[in-house]
Amino acid sequence: MEKLENGGKEYIVAANWKMNMSAKAIKSFLEEMNQVEIPKHLRTIIFPPYPYLNIFQKMLRYSRITYGAQDIAKEEKGAYTGEVSADMLIDMGCSYTLTGHSERRSYYAETPEIVAEKTRAAIMHSLTPVICIGETLEQRQSGRYKEILKAQLDAVEASVRESMGVCMIAYEPVWAIGTGVIPKISEIRDTHKFIHEVLISYGGTYRKTVPILYGGSVSEKNVREIASVKYVNGFLIGGASLNAERFKTIIKLLSVD
Ligand code: PGA
């Protein structure tokens, strides 16, 4: 097994359940997870669909597993049918929210500015935003992908400025999400290094500490190798996080140095 590259630093293992699972399935998933000893250097975050947040609130009271929402309203409150505000997420015990997942950007037309506003709303309420960025296959092949990633980050930075330091970034190449295809390790290394440099370029040494997660077809087969890459500080996992056995295996693989 490759040696993990984080020099004893924390790893983040985040599960994005998207529009999956049921109350029954979640209860048994969390019962199983509550038996697992999560090592100190791992931070586990689950992002379930909104209606199930109350199950997390009840079942994870004494757990090291934390949770958050998959999305957040940019508005504070009022006539916004279907939206869920930061205050409501806090009420449900959330500590985190995703912003700018590529499915939100592409299916729900979330522009970089909307993502920035949502990220800002989260920060104002002390929720930690996990800002998802990523390029399409076409953008990767055109060689313009770094420009795209930087523009996605710049839009958020322009809105939150200093508070960028309290965010997490999830780099998820759109072409790797749910496809079983992952970038070459050298590509992940290069892109994470680039993101790190963009964060540094905003100024302020604390930006060195913003965790950069990798997402897109992460599984028990590749997690260890990707974890050994410099500037990979954790994972945002979709499909492989829906099954407690698989998720536990991933946690176990990241538990040994
Ligand atoms: P995947 O999804 O692990 O199923 O590729 C990751 C994500 O969309 O966050």
Q: Is 173 in the pocket of ligand 1 (CB under 6 A)?
A: no
Q: Amino acid identity, residue 64?
A: R
Active site residue 41: no
Distance in angstroms (rounded) separating the CA atoms of residues 54 and 84: 14
Q: Which pLDDT does position 257 carry in this prediction?
A: 67
Closest ligand 1 atom to Cα of 236? 9
- CA distances 69 to 13, 72, 102, Å, are 15, 7, 15
What is d(CA 86, CA 195) in angstroms, rounded to the nearest whole number? Answer: 27
> CB of 237 closer than 6 A to ligand 1?
yes
Question: Is the CB of 70 within 6 Å of ligand 1?
Answer: no
Q: Is residue 4 part of a domain?
A: no
Report, as ranges of residue numbers, the positions in the chain whose pLDDT lies below 70: 1-9, 205-206, 257
**What pTM did the predictor assign?**
0.96
Q: Whose CA is nearest to atom 2 of ligand 1?
A: 238
How crowded is residue 60: how many other Cβ atoms within 10 Å of its Cβ?
17
3-state DSSP helix/strand/coil percent for the chain, to nearest 5? 45, 15, 40
CA of 8: how far to CAs of 11, 30, 236, in Å? 9, 27, 20
Q: Please, which residues have CB within 8 angstroms of residue 5's CB and are 6 or more apart in sequence?
A: 227, 228, 229, 230, 232
Atom of ligand 1 nearest to the CA of 239: 4
pLDDT of residue 34: 92
Residue 2 covered by a domain: no
Record the tokens describing residue 42, joined without a space.
């791992």
112 lines ligand 1 (CB under 6 A): no
Ligand 1 near 170 CB (within 6 A) = no
Ligand 1 atom with the shortest distance to the CA of 132: 9
Q: Which of 117, 135, 157, 172 is catalytic?
A: 172
Alpha carbon nearest to ligand 1 atom 9, residue = 238
Q: Judge whether 235 lies within some domain.
A: yes
Return the CATH number at 88. 3.20.20.70
- Look at residue 6 and tell me if it is in a domain: no
Is residue 208 within a helix (H) or strand (E), and if so which, with residue range?
Answer: none
Which residue range(s) make up the domain with 244?
A: 11-255
Domain assignment of residue 5, yes or no: no
Tokens of 23: 């109350």
| 125 noted as active-site residue | no
Which pLDDT value is given to residue 85? 98
Q: How far is the CA of 78 from the centre of ligand 1 (A)?
A: 32
What's the burial of 248, exposed, middle or buried (CB within 10 Å: 0-12/13-18/19+)?
middle
- pLDDT score, position 6: 58
pLDDT at 203: 86
| Pocket probe mutation, ligand 1, options 16, 235, 241, 246, max atoms within 8 Å of Cβ | 16
Q: Is residue 1 part of a domain?
A: no
Give residue for tokens 């990241």.
254
Main-chain dihedrals φ then ψ at residue 45, nearest 5 degrees: -130, 130
Q: What pLDDT score was predicted for residue 1? A: 56
Residue 146 within a domain: yes
- For ligand 1, whether the C-beta of 134 sits within 6 Å is no
Tell which atom from ligand 1 comes closest to the C-alpha of 240.
3
Query: What is the model's pLDDT at position 209?
Result: 86
Burial of residue 249, with CB atoms counted within 10 A of its CB: 0-12 exposed, 13-18 middle, 19 or more buried: middle
Task: Please report which helix (H) or strand (E) contains residue 186, including its range.
Answer: helix 185-201
Quote the CA–CA distance of 170 and 19 in Å, as a whole number. 19
92 in a domain, yes or no?
A: yes
Tally of domains within the chain: 1
pLDDT at 204: 73
